[in-house]
Chain A
């Protein structure tokens, strides 16, 4: 993931991605240390959660990028992180560092795994990566992903814990 703009300046937005996952994980330590409490922390769509042994799993909805407000899938998790990057809320704001233009081949990527920082980084990097993002996501150890491309085609990596592994969503934007 590039940390500089095409003109060579430091791209602070790239750091925002890193800082967000890092800060949320640090903040969550205060909550996960509470006895007899389960924790679900949602920072602008990126989710970190934990349920104590024997407690019911958290149910995490994955937003449909074609129709924000509706759900694409539902995951049951007892710990770890769920992070989503894409164009649904802010348009094509992630830049392909090689083509040096906004990445638009992938509309949305949701990554599930043990750490929010890396789930967030992988999801954003996959959107920037574009066409071969699913193969790249499938090779990540310990993380699984659900991808929606620009045409609305839905695909998941082998380890995706949800019920939706392929299909289509509306064209949307």
Chain B
């Protein structure tokens, strides 16, 4: 029973936490991010005719995601080793 709880409940809990963080980030940061991008747009606008900044910021988001995913994975591995280490 405990094993079942850990195998299903923990990932489900973790999923809900991540969804919560995701929506919180969306709500809390998006307006600031939009304002920052409005400013950034005016900075890069003179070069907009020669550079596709839409692609740049899409890839920037992907890169950031990969970094976060990578470090999350590292944290997950560390925690897993901590709890399941067999000496």
Do A and B form a real pair?
Answer: no
Chain B residues with a Cβ under 8 A of chain A = none
